[in-house]
Amino acid sequence: MSSVNALMVAIDAAVRKRDAARTGLQERQSAQQAAQVQMDQLQAYMQEMQTRWGAQDGLAVQPEVMHHHYQFMDRLQHAISLQTSVLVDVRIRLEAAQQALLAAELRVSSLNKVVDVRKRDMALVQMRREQKETDERAALQFFRRSLGLQMQEAAP
pLDDT tens figures, 2-24 = 788 888 999 999 999 999 999 99
Extents of the domains making up the chain = 2-115
Q: What is the model's pLDDT at position 59?
A: 67
Write down the CATH number for the domain with range 2-115.
1.10.287.1700
**pLDDT tens profile 92-101:** 999 999 999 9
CB under 8 A, 24+ apart: contacts of 35-38: 35/83, 35/86, 35/87, 35/90, 36/87, 38/83, 38/86
Q: Is the pTM of this model over 0.85?
A: no
Given pLDDT bands bounded at 50, 70 and 90, which one contains residue 145? confident
